[in-house]
Amino acid sequence: MMTGTGPIHYTGVAKTLHWLIALVIITMLIFGQGFETSEGDDLAFSLTGHSSLGLTVIGLIILRILWRIGHPPPALPETVAGVQLLAAKLSHLLLYALMIYVPVTGLYTAAAHEMPVMAYGAFDLRVTLSFFGADDFEGRRFLHELGTWLLISLLAVHVSAAFLHQFVQKDDVLRRMLPGKAKG
């Protein structure tokens, strides 16, 4: 049983943005692997893909936040209360914060990279973001990697909670965000 009188499913736009952002983040994490061992053209390719997807995530997150402001999420089931409700709200807030923090610190790091970081293959982020300066690459990379690991950890909690709702609590929380036509 859902609380409130609003919709019980997310809108099609919200679902599309959710799954598109998930796909882009997973792809971006793949591009981000192996930076330490890549060189030359392989590193340039990875930096281009990773930075381009980071800029894309920022745009998609802004759209998602704007959409969410005008289209509040559906109410959670009445069984989600107390600490679980607080955890759900806090984890979503932290997810949004980290989905902004990680790409922004990535851009900050790119500004100090020794190689050109060609976003979309069209412009060098080091030039575009030169106002950040180019010092302390390692410190910037640390901030970016820390945020990345926090985001990965929180995403693991998010996915685990979705599966808990679907397969243990059987309360249709996951179904509200699955692609396709809403039922009920």
Check pLDDT > 50 for residue 178. Answer: yes
User: Kindly report the CA angle at 118 between 144 and 36, in degrees rounded to 5?
Assistant: 45
pLDDT bracket for residue 31 (50, 70, 90)? confident
Mean pLDDT of the chain: 91
User: Hunting for tokens 């607080």 — which residue is that?
Assistant: 86
Check pLDDT > 60 for residue 43. Answer: yes
Check pLDDT > 70 for residue 87. Answer: yes
Check pLDDT > 80 for residue 162. Answer: yes
Residue 118: strand, helix, or coil: strand
As a whole number, mean pLDDT of residues 128-153 equals 95
Check pLDDT > 70 for residue 184. Answer: no
Q: What are 93-139's pLDDT values in tens digits?
A: 999 999 999 999 999 999 999 999 999 999 999 999 999 999 999 99
- In the chain the domains, ranked by start, together with CATH numbers, are 12-127+135-171 (1.20.950.20)
Check pLDDT > 50 for residue 167. Answer: yes
pTM: 0.89
State CA 83 to chain mean position distance.
Answer: 24
Q: What are 57-84's pLDDT values in tens digits?
A: 999 999 999 999 999 999 888 888 899 9
Residue 123: strand, helix, or coil: strand
Residues 6+ away with beta carbon under 8 Å from 18: 10, 64, 177
- pLDDT, residue 151, reads 97
- pLDDT, residue 143, reads 97
- pLDDT, residue 179, reads 86
106 close to 53: Cβ distance less than 8 angstroms: no
